[in-house]
């Protein structure tokens, strides 16, 4: 039986669990997994390395035109979900450094940057079945996606998740600081003029504050099975 759900968009705020859900769902389906956030993170890292101001849209656009960002399936067994190459260099973990975290929402807010990234994301989605994760996938990148999920959780739950994630990576962070950064990211993502974070009108909104990964996956899997059955 052919699965009619070939394109899946998962959106939500930082640390809502969308990347974990997207990864395990793509593995189960045998689909490409693409967390679009790493593309903006890679550009933010490139800007920091090159000394380009992350608040200058024109300079960032110029930098992007001369920067090669590639996102591939994991090629190293070190816990990564994707391999991120910046001009051929593996930066899969560098893109999650605190200094990148502080700049990525600013970089991602510029319309010219978003337009360029969206063109590439749409090209990828047109080539194969995909589970794509981000903050504007269902509203902008894949408005015709077969299934749209908007994943959310309480601010406290998300802060705890991000805190433990960063500590597991060896970063010495405090929960209060993580909470503050998360609130700042939420404000930047929801208040930006271009493609603000919001659920698509036809998205299934799933609150996973009290759900673990397997429980969240099962909720989404039920949706996929239901749509598959209804199509046949």
Nearest to 37 by CA among 129, 126, 136: 136
Whether residue 230 lies inside any domain: the answer is no
Whether residue 2 lies inside any domain: the answer is no
* Three-point CA angle 175, 160, 188, nearest 5°: 80
Tokens of 194: 């271009």
Whether residue 152 lies inside any domain: the answer is yes
Whether residue 153 lies inside any domain: the answer is yes
Whether residue 169 lies inside any domain: the answer is yes
Whether residue 232 lies inside any domain: the answer is no
pLDDT band at 134 (very low <50, low <70, confident <90, very high): very high
Tell me the helix, strand and coil percentages in the chain, rounded to 5.
50, 15, 35
Whether residue 231 lies inside any domain: the answer is no
What CATH number is given to the structural domain containing 50? 3.40.50.300
Report pLDDT digits (tens) over 205-217: 999 999 999 999 9
Whether residue 229 lies inside any domain: the answer is no
- Confidence (pLDDT) at 231: 62
- Confidence (pLDDT) at 229: 57
Instruction: Average the pLDDT over 42-53 and give the result.
Output: 98
List the domain range (segments joined by +) for residue 213. Answer: 7-223
Report pLDDT digits (tens) over 137-193: 999 999 999 999 999 999 999 999 999 988 988 888 999 999 999 999 899 889 988
Q: How many domains, in total, are found in the chain? A: 1
pLDDT band at 227 (very low <50, low <70, confident <90, very high): confident
């Amino acid at each position: 039986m052919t699965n009619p759900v070939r394109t899946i968009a998962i959106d939500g705020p930082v640390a809502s669990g969308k990347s974990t859900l997207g990864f395990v769902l793509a593995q189960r389906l045998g689909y490409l997994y693409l967390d679009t956030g790493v593309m903006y993170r890679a550009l933010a890292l490139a800007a920091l390395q090159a000394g380009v101001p992350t608040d200058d849209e024109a300079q960032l656009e110029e930098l992007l035109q001369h920067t090669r960002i590639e996102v591939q399936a994991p090629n190293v067994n070190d816990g990564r979900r994707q391999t991120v190459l910046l001009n051929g260099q593996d930066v899969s973990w560098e893109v999650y450094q605190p200094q990148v975290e502080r700049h990525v929402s600013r970089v991602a807010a510029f319309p010219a940057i978003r337009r360029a990234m969206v063109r590439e994301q749409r090209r990828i989605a047109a080539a194969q079945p995909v589970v794509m994760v981000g903050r504007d996938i269902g509203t902008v990148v894949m408005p015709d996606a077969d299934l749209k999920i908007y994943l959310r959780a309480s601010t406290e739950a998300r802060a705890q998740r991000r805190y433990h994630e960063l500590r597991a990576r060896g970063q010495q962070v405090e929960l209060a600081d993580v909470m503050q950064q998360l609130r700042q990211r939420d404000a930047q993502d929801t208040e930006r003029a271009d493609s603000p974070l919001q659920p698509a009108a036809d998205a299934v909104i799933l609150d996973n504050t009290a759900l673990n990964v397997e429980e969240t996956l099962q909720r989404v899997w039920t949706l996929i099975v239901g749509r598959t059955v209804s199509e046949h």
